[in-house]
Structure 1
Amino acid sequence: MLVTESMSSDEPAASTPGAGSVEVGFSQDMSVHHLQAVTMANWARDHSTDPSVRQLAFDIASTQLEQVGRMKGWLMLWNQPEQGVGEYMTWMKSPTGHAHQPATGAPAGDAPMPGMATTQELQRMRSLSGKELDVYFLQLMLRHHQGGTEMAQYAHDNFGLDAMKALTQSILVSQAAEANLMTQMLAERGAKPLPAP
């Protein structure tokens, strides 16, 4: 039996989020989104020769893997599957009730969510080395963070659970700092972010 506690004596107990809720949908979809970032970061960490790129990649993989663990733990406690059934991001609703379309646009190619890399982009990243790998990794990860940030902001604004608000606040802060760093690292390498889709 799951025990819920209220935040104060005059506030009702929080209910367990169910299928279709922002909490469950975000946890399922952001886990998928984060795991692609972990995969890309691990590749860059293991194949880059640039210490600053390797350190950034290590930090991203470590942070996002820990966050995936939290989200999957919540899903287990809520008796919800680790992955949703059907289309991604149906939990992001506009005021009209239609699926929200993030400003970064629709996913490109076979990418399931905004910011995610396509199969072809991942293959290209794996084919590169040296500065070309570093630049392309930074470009892909910057775009990845931008898509994830929009998802986290929407969830943060629509959650009812304090623990989840704390997680999305952490995501927003860390990814904003990393996005600024990646933009700076790209400029130092004479490169620019990828164009918006």
Structure 2
Amino acid sequence: TRILDPHHPSTLTARHNLANAYKTAGRLEEAIALFEQNLEDHTHILGPAHPGTLTARNNLASAYHDAGRLDEAIPLFDQTLEDRTRILGPRHPNTLTSRNNLAIAYHNAGRLDEAIPLLEQTLEDSTRILGPRHPNTLTSRNNLAIAYQATGRLEEAIALFEQNLEDRTRTLGPAHPVTLTARNNLAGAYRAAGRIEDAEKLFRTP
């Protein structure tokens, strides 16, 4: 920063990298301060609708979300989704990511009625654009299943969890940590639905 202008692109990149390192280390307040500065600078230099500004806004929203500051995260996720939809189109991968981010924030804020339609749309678009077994599609399916389960829609949740376990097993193998998580999610849904024997079979699966 002493050698380059504080608004130089290389300075913004360095600040972004440091903010990500702080976030990864759990030093969220320090990360947030840097992400806030980066968003301010990107907006001033590049404009509010530039792709770099949208990324900076998404990064700040994610840090707010991780810090439990959902009231601050949700408006930023919402604005980013609106801008990416307008600029990139509703089915661009970055738009799908923004829609998923907003949905997860709604879910964590207890606003499931708003989260579920976004998750349903994201799964539909991911399946069509990326394919039914793409990792992002599997993540979208899992997120929707969790939301269905949280609202008592257990049969719909179970169908999605079953498909995810099948696809994770096929693509990653039965012993992969992500596959084990998928199996645990399905077992939990079986148990919630009173299907104790089915749940126990999964828990006993080596």
TM-score, with structure 1 as normaliser: 0.29
Give the structure, 1 or 2, with the largest relative contact order (CA under 8 Å, sep 6 or more).
1
Which has the larger helix fraction? Answer: 2
Larger radius of gyration, structure 1 or 2? Answer: 2
TM-score, with structure 2 as normaliser: 0.28
